[in-house]
Amino acid sequence: MQPHKNPSRRTFLSALSAAALQAANGAPRNVLFVASDDLNNSLGCYGHPLAQSPHIDGLAARGVRFDRAYCQFPFCGPSRASLLTGLRPDRSGVTSNAQVDFRRKNPDAVTLPQYFKQNGYRSMRVGKIFHMGVPGGVGSMNHQDPPSWDVSISPDGLEEESAGEGGNPNPDIRHGLRMQWVRTADDRGQADTAAADKAIELLEETAGEPFFLGLGFVRPHVPFVAPSEFFDLYPLDAIEPVANPANDLDDIPAPAKNLRPFLWNDMGMTPTQQRIALRGYYASVSYMDRQFGRVLHALDRLKLTDNTVVVFFGDHGWHLGEHTHWQKMSLMEESVRAPLIVAAPGMDGNGRATQALAEFVDLYPTLTELCGLPPPPDLDGVSLAPVLQNPLETVKNAAYSQVEYENRIYGRSVRTDRYRYIQWQGDGGGEELYDHDNDPREFHNLAASARRSGAVNEVIERLRAALSRP
């Protein structure tokens, strides 16, 4: 299923004048490119009933909020490699966190920040932009691709060694996956506070030249570490674990459930432990939001806001008990859909939300177009600029995601306006089809029905064919 060729696109591009791509003083647009690790749509601007994220919400109020944005692989390393090269995982060569060097397959790749660097921008990184193991790799310079940056900084952090009250409901699960939490007195020693501090310093010293600043926060990735004031925002008696039908897992194929099987069945947590885990996640989101707000305030103070494209996203989705699954590495909606907000000065769509399908591979061509740079060749995404100008526009009719596990389980998904179709190989294989018009939480696998209708068969065949040509 090929991206939809919008008939108005050529008109849009010709009408988008140089004045719209630059500030009133003619200076090139800057880019603030902000990633949050393991962040799903638990944000106020996405309608979450509890999450408090005022600074992210404020960005959404002056930019375009994408309600259906999808990563290409629901795992940190592959998702980021795909997004930053503009190549789908099969082309980037990164399909696990064990091998995240996209240059092994693509030695001459020009990444998104590298492209800006080649076009006269000061390219800077603070925190997790390319893959960085959390918590063990926090502070490490590994995998951060030196050709991409003029300045590259990995702030250290105390992580689970932070002083404070804490807990660990599943100690038998390995480091970096446990639902561990630490409630600290303040934010001293935390990587995200240090990242915001350094980002502000870089903005202050770079205010006179065009810049691409990649700012990567590690929260809300486990361990959930945040000051007490953010835990206090979420009383336990206000938090309810997700409710799932008793037979929810019966129609999910075996390979889906064998993909990191310890993440299913609520990771062995009791309902009380689930509430505590949810509170830790929400507290981490609110703490990260505070640090993001400090950087946005610096943009305002330095009078850079009107000339800076701000992109904010989570690198993939994250289950919080839906289908009894926690964390990432599924191909269901909660794992592959992620928040995406783009605030580009002068775009007519600012202040609105869009239902247009978007993929993370689209960010590379979008940002180069918004900043008036020549389009890079051979990227897999398409520019979302027409949607930023008019949120009712569409530039594609499908979004594609994939996953691999232990060289034995392979899954691929296609999401259209109405349907999600998933095809599995390994461990017996299988298919899933969900009708989002009637089943937005993906409880009823239509592909598993022995009496499925001819119309369902037709949809399956169409989407099965689409998977071979994203």
Q: 298 Cβ partners below 8 Å, 6+ apart? A: 199, 200, 203, 204
CA atoms within 13 A on the CB side of 33: 28
Please tell me the pTM assigned to this model: 0.95
Is the model's pLDDT at 4 over the cut of 80? no
**Catalytic one of 45, 55, 131, 319:** 131
74, 62, 283, 267: CA torsion to nearest 10: -20
Express as a percent the part of the chain with pLDDT over 90: 92
**Catalytic one of 45, 76, 319, 325:** 76
Kindly list the structural domains of the chain, giving each domain's residue range(s) and its CATH number in brackets, ordered by start: 9-396 (3.40.720.10)
Is the model's pLDDT at 36 over the cut of 70? yes
Q: What's residue 26's pLDDT?
A: 67
How far is it, in rounded angstroms, from Cα 82 to Cα 315?
A: 11
**Per residue in 255-271, pLDDT tens?**
999 999 999 999 999 99
Q: What's residue 13's pLDDT?
A: 43
Q: What's residue 116's pLDDT?
A: 98
Q: How confident is the model at residue 468 (pLDDT cuts 50, 70, 90)?
A: confident
How many helices (DSSP H) and strands (DSSP E) are in the chain? 14, 19
Is the model's pLDDT at 289 over the cut of 70? yes
Average pLDDT over residues 425-438: 97
Q: How confident is the model at residue 450 (pLDDT cuts 50, 70, 90)?
A: confident
Is the model's pLDDT at 16 over the cut of 80? no
**Taking the alpha carbons of 128, 134, 135, 141 in that order, is the dihedral positive or negative?**
negative
Cis peptide before 376, with omega less than 30 degrees from 0?
no
Q: What's residue 27's pLDDT?
A: 78
Q: What's residue 469's pLDDT?
A: 77
Contact 309, 64 (CB under 8 A): no
Average pLDDT over residues 14-36: 67
Average pLDDT over residues 194-198: 98
Q: Quick check: is 48 catalytic? A: no
Structure tokens at 396: 């594609």
Express as a percent the part of the chain with pLDDT over 70: 94
Q: Quick check: is 71 catalytic? A: no
**Per residue in 106-147, pLDDT tens?**
999 999 999 999 999 999 999 999 999 999 999 999 999 999
Give the mean pLDDT of the chain: 94
**Per residue in 385-431, pLDDT tens?**
999 999 999 999 999 999 999 999 999 999 999 999 999 999 999 99
**CA dist list (Å): 383 to 72, 218, 395, 404:** 16, 27, 8, 27
Sheet holding 409-415, edge to edge: 399-405, 409-415, 419-425, 430-435
Residue 47's nearest CA partner among 65, 29, 34 is 65
**CA dist list (Å): 166 to 38, 87, 351:** 20, 40, 39
Is the model's pLDDT at 24 over the cut of 80? no
Helical axes 191-206 vs 271-301, angle rounded to 10°? 10
